[in-house]
A and B are shown apart, each in its own frame.
Chain A
Amino acid sequence: MNDWVIAIIKVVFIWVWTLLVAVVMTWVERRGAAMIQDRLGPNRAGPFGLFQPLADGIKLFTKEDIIPANANRILFILGPILFSLPAFSAYAVVPFGDKIVIAGKEIILQVSDVNVGFLYVVALGSMAVYGVIVGGWASNNKFSILGGLRSTAQLISYEVPWGLALLAAALVYGTFSLREISIAQQGTFLGFLPNWGIFRQPLGFLLFIVAAYAEANRVPFDLPEAESEIVAGYHTEYGSMRLGLYLFGEYVNLCTLSALMVTLYFGSWHLPYLNMEAFLGPISYGIASFLVFFLKVSFFLWLFVWVRWTVPRFRYDQVMGLGWKSLIPLALANLFVTALAIQLTV
């Protein structure tokens, strides 16, 4: 097998996998919400209502596709595409396992291991806002524009602590490559803790997860689509599959953010106190590392759902205040302390 074929297989695999996870996530979200609110949720289509996403998909596809008369047609169509495109491309540098050896050939379970790894994720993360702005603007609706405006301000504010938290992690590991960061998290830290990023960067992780919720427009930061104030925010005018793309892009985003959290702070594919590579065969090790990685990712995906149905929404000035007055100073302090600690210990 030559490298091109392997690369294409990896791309297709991770693409289909992410899509599948996003589809299942819509079901998890609804069932999870029902569980937390002590009701049943969708349970009619298939066992446990598992075919509900399929039914939703068919519904969205067969609905009438409406573009408002006074909307800007081209930008209206472009909006959802601009939103989901960066979400899909960001996964290219995030690993989904260690490596698998097939017929003597070592295959790294990552689409591409570039030395500017997570800066690429940051860059694409900052692109996602255009989908929201363009959609909100093109709809020619006050609620949509308000949603777009809120989203712009929110994303700009939370990108700063997000990037600073990431930078502190990069300082600890001395690299931007996500694969190298993953490999560096093997073994133990201080003799008894697993050597995971969270123990080296506890504050960094906290900042990262708060900013990640804001970046993904999730509760408690879902001000851009706060239905009690501005109907549905930037996607008020959207229906059928265009709305589907927005919702879908959000779940793909969650997937990437969860994978990033696992890679940077939760030991990637490593199990604590256990070196899987030592006693597993080359192929089973590859599969096991993928499963361990995905298990951790699914926990964070569940956490997104859990938080959404537990925590109430912030007020808008609280969101801005938290971003600029607490998170950014904390992130700067975290960066400074990390740099100082590295300078003193190296």
Chain B
Amino acid sequence: MDLYFWIFAVMAVAAGLFTISSWEPLSSALGLLTVFIALSALYLHLHAPLVAIFQVTIYAGAILVLIVFVLMLLVSPGERMRAIQENASYRVMGGILGLSMLGLLAAGTKGVSDLICARSLPQGFGHPSGFGDMMFREYLLHFEVVSVLLLVALIGAIYLAKKNI
């Protein structure tokens, strides 16, 4: 049995459950932080240190910090959060969405695990330079498309934030 995997997998799932069940918004955010850290530990286990580091830097270090920033600006976020959590239609919608995602994941997992287990790791797998080579040689188009997508999001955010440009 792979003890390392189980420790962090259980940690991630437990923290995820805590995130969606906690009444305190900041506790929820810290639960999400734990999920991100547990996931990055799992990436390390999969010989992908670069992905693990990015997981922590970008998700935990930037995105979640922004979410927390918004939480701190809300007036009595606890009560608002409670109102949202107790709203029946939100609950039903969230449930349906969550269950369908779970189904999708379960369907995908089998295929992906077959694919990964059949492969042996190439020399120097997970090294940053190999990662860069792959991204800027084989997947350059994808990279550029994503960067344009991000630019669109950026312009959209500015448009939404500033009424008269």
Report the Cα distance A20→B73, complex, angstroms. Answer: 39
Report the Cα distance A123→B36, complex, angstroms. Answer: 12
A156/B26 in contact, CB under 8 A? no
Contacts of A159 in B (CB 8 A): 61-62
A122/B57 in contact, CB under 8 A? yes
Interface of chain B, helix or strand or loop or mixed?
helix
Nearest CB to that of B57 among chain A residues?
A123
B26/A119 in contact, CB under 8 A? no
B49/A116 in contact, CB under 8 A? yes
- Asked if A130 is an interface residue, CB under 8 A from chain B, the answer is yes
Report the Cα distance A138→B25, complex, angstroms. Answer: 12
Nearest CB to that of A153 among chain B residues?
B69
Contacts of A145 in B (CB 8 A): 72
The answer, among A75, A116, A126, A148, for a CB contact under 8 Å with B61, is A126
B65/A134 in contact, CB under 8 A? no
Query: Which of B54, B66, B68 is the most central at the interface, judged by chain A CB atoms within 10 Å of its CB?
Result: B68
Nearest CB to that of B51 among chain A residues?
A116
B24/A72 in contact, CB under 8 A? yes
- Asked if B42 is an interface residue, CB under 8 A from chain A, the answer is no
- Asked if A319 is an interface residue, CB under 8 A from chain B, the answer is no
Nearest CB to that of B77 among chain A residues?
A137
B contacts with A, residue count (CB < 8 A): 22
C-beta contact mask, B24-37 vs A, less than 8 Å → 1, else 0?
10110010010000
B26/A134 in contact, CB under 8 A? yes
A156/B24 in contact, CB under 8 A? no
Given the interface pairs A75-B26, A75-B27, A176-B128, the reply to whether A133 lies near B72 with Cβ below 8 Å is yes
Shortest CB–CB separation between residue B77 and chain A, in angstroms?
10
Shortest CB–CB separation between residue A264 and chain B, in angstroms?
17
B72/A152 in contact, CB under 8 A? yes
Shortest CB–CB separation between residue A209 and chain B, in angstroms?
21
Interface residues of B in 23-79 (CB under 8 A from A): 24, 26-27, 30, 33, 49-50, 53-54, 56-57, 60-62, 65-66, 68-69, 72-73
Report the Cα distance A75→B26, complex, angstroms. Answer: 9
- Asked if B127 is an interface residue, CB under 8 A from chain A, the answer is yes
Contacts of B56 in A (CB 8 A): 123-124, 126-127
By size class, the interface of chain A is 20 to 34
- Asked if A114 is an interface residue, CB under 8 A from chain B, the answer is yes
Nearest CB to that of B33 among chain A residues?
A130
Report the Cα distance A29→B63, complex, angstroms. Answer: 35
Report the Cα distance A335→B62, complex, angstroms. Answer: 21
Report the Cα distance A137→B30, complex, angstroms. Answer: 12
A116/B50 in contact, CB under 8 A? yes
Given the interface pairs A127-B56, A137-B72, the reply to whether A156 lies near B65 with Cβ below 8 Å is yes
Shortest CB–CB separation between residue A151 and chain B, in angstroms?
10
Report the Cα distance A212→B55, complex, angstroms. Answer: 22
Interface residues of A in 80-127 (CB under 8 A from B): 114-116, 119-120, 122-127
A149/B69 in contact, CB under 8 A? yes
Query: Which of A78, A115, A138 is the most central at the interface, judged by chain B CB atoms within 10 Å of its CB?
Result: A115
The answer, among A120, A134, A137, A138, for a CB contact under 8 Å with B53, is A120
Shortest CB–CB separation between residue A99 and chain B, in angstroms?
23
- Asked if A297 is an interface residue, CB under 8 A from chain B, the answer is no
29 interchain pairs, CB-CB under 8 A: A72-B24, A72-B26, A115-B49, A115-B127, A116-B49, A116-B50, A116-B53, A119-B53, A120-B53, A122-B57, A123-B60, A126-B57, A126-B65, A127-B60, A129-B65, A130-B33, A133-B65, A133-B72, A137-B26, A137-B72, A145-B72, A148-B72, A149-B73, A152-B68, A156-B62, A156-B69, A159-B61, A159-B62, A163-B57
List of 9 A-B pairs having minimum Cβ-Cβ separation, nearest first: A126-B61, A123-B56, A119-B53, A123-B57, A116-B49, A152-B69, A123-B53, A116-B53, A137-B26
